[in-house]
C-alpha cells in the first residue's frame, strides 16, 4: 500500500467520523422538542437536579460555589440582571466553548459545523420560546426581556451540548450536566459572586 493510499484511508476515516458526529447533533436536535423547557422553574430542587448542578460547578472549576434556588420570576430577573456576574465563570464557559469549537473543526469543516449549529439553534429557539411563553403565562410574567434571556440561555446550552457531541469529549464535561438541568425543566441562570442561581 502506498503513502497516498494511507492518506486516502485516513481521509475516509475522518469523513466517516465527522458524519457520525453530525448525525449525533441531528439526533440532539430532534430531541429538543421533547425537552420540558422551564416546566419545573421555581419548584423545590430534586436530588438529581442538585447532582447535575454540583457536577456542572465542579467540572467548570467552581467547587466552592453555593447552589441558590430561585423561587419566582422576580428573583430570576434580579439574578439575570445582576451586574455582579462572576467574570471568571463567564470566562471559564467561553474557554470551554472555544476549545470544543477548535476540536470540532478538526473533525468537520467550518461550513458543516455552521450549518449544523444554525439548524440546532433554530430548533432549540422555537421549542424553548413556546415553553417560556407558557411558563411566563402561568407565572403571570410579562417581561419580554427576561423571556428573551431565558430562551437565549436555552439556545446557548443546546449549542454547547452540540459542541460536546461533535468534539466527542469525555462524559464528565461541564456542558453535559448544564444541559441536563434544562432537560429537568430548570433555568441555570448564572454564578454571581460565590453563588450559583438556579431557577
Query: Cell triple for residue 164?
Result: 460536546
pLDDT at position 64, please?
93
pLDDT, tens only, 70-79: 999 999 999 8
Alpha carbons 171 and 156: distance in angstroms, whole number? 19
The tens digit of pLDDT for each residue in 129-186 reads 999 999 999 999 999 999 999 999 999 999 999 999 999 887 899 999 999 999 999 9
Report domain extents, the chain: 3-198
Which pLDDT belongs to residue 104? Answer: 94
What band does 7 get if pLDDT is binned at 50, 70 and 90?
low
Q: What is the pTM assigned to this prediction?
A: 0.89
Checking if the pLDDT of 9 tops 50, the result is no
| Distance (Å, whole) CA 160 – CA 138 | 29
* Strand arrangement, sheet containing 195-198: 66-69, 195-198, 188-192
DSSP SS3 for 172: coil
Amino acid at each position: 500500500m502506498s503513502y497516498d493510499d494511507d492518506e486516502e484511508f485516513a481521509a475516509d476515516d475522518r469523513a466517516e467520523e465527522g458524519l457520525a458526529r453530525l448525525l449525533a447533533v441531528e439526533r440532539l436536535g430532534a430531541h429538543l422538542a421533547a425537552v420540558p423547557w422551564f416546566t419545573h422553574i421555581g419548584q423545590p430542587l430534586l436530588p438529581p437536579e442538585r447532582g447535575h448542578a454540583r457536577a456542572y460547578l465542579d467540572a467548570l472549576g467552581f467547587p466552592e460555589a453555593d447552589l441558590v434556588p430561585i423561587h419566582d420570576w422576580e428573583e430570576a430577573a434580579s439574578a439575570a440582571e445582576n451586574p455582579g456576574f462572576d467574570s471568571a465563570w463567564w470566562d471559564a464557559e467561553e474557554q470551554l466553548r472555544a476549545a470544543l469549537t477548535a476540536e470540532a473543526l478538526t473533525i468537520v469543516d467550518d461550513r458543516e459545523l455552521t450549518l449544523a449549529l444554525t439548524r440546532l439553534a433554530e430548533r432549540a429557539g422555537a421549542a424553548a420560546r413556546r415553553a417560556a411563553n407558557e411558563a411566563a403565562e402561568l407565572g403571570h410574567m410579562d417581561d419580554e426581556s427576561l423571556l428573551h434571556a431565558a430562551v437565549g440561555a436555552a439556545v446557548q446550552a443546546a449549542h454547547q451540548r452540540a459542541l460536546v457531541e461533535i468534539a466527542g469529549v469525555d462524559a464528565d464535561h461541564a456542558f453535559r450536566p448544564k444541559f441536563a438541568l434544562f432537560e429537568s425543566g430548570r433555568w441555570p441562570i448564572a454564578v454571581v459572586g460565590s453563588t450559583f442561581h438556579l431557577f
